[in-house]
Amino acid sequence: MLEAERASIPPGMTSQPSPVQLIRPTRHGDSRGWFVEVYNREAFAKIGITCTFVQDNHSLSVPAYTLRGLHFQTPSRGQDKLVRCIRGRIFDVAVDIRKGSPTFGHWVGAELSAENGHQLFIPIGFAHGFVTLEDTCEVSYKCSDTYAPANDGGIRWDDPAIGIDWQLPAGTTPELSAKDAVQPLLADFDSPFPYDGRPLAPLA
């Protein structure tokens, strides 16, 4: 596991590809700079990502250690997400919240940055969040459904039962929205997401 990629899943617990995928697009560079395809429907279908994206979101977080999450939308308005950082660096996290999953409550995370160009695909059934690792970070992500306020849900970012290592310096309190500061604990969440037979695995 790379230093920038972390998980709460014991080694050897899973043997198949994770439903959460870390994607490393190839940059084609020359003296002028570089070019990269960040999304190609046919190429993504070959790695099992077949959803149709219908909305693009873009956020700016000015202070370092701004934390957004953990968020999801409930059925029938669930959202697959394809996340990338286009300015600065973030630590991006997905938590398995599928009822009956052997990896329920486990998480994976990876550093996404403007420099490395990596993307994280988070399917329906996972809560998503990120923390900025420096000032002035911009994050862009695709969603497979539009925002539905009635289906908006969340889990506490610091739920001890999940135990996410957010890469925060000792003693640092992240910047949170009023909503994210009072999200429920996982133990108080009756998940409407079914398990599809694919446990969460460390990022490949």
Q: Choosing from 65, 71, 106, 128, which is the catalytic residue? A: 71
SS3 151: helix
Is 71 labeled as catalytic in the residue annotation?
yes
Is 28 labeled as catalytic in the residue annotation?
no
Strand locations in the chain (E): 5-7, 21-23, 28-30, 33-35, 55-61, 67-73, 81-87, 89-96, 107-113, 119-122, 126-132, 137-143, 152-154
Q: Choosing from 65, 118, 128, 141, which is the catalytic residue? A: 141
| Nearest alpha carbon to residue 81 among 68, 94, 90 | 94
* 185 alpha carbon, distance to own chain's centre: 18
Number of Cβ within a 10 Å radius of residue 102: 13
41 phi/psi in degrees, rounded to 5: -55, -45
Q: Is the alpha carbon torsion for 15, 17, 21, 23 positive or negative?
A: positive
| Nearest alpha carbon to residue 174 among 160, 157, 154 | 157
Which positions are catalytic?
71, 141
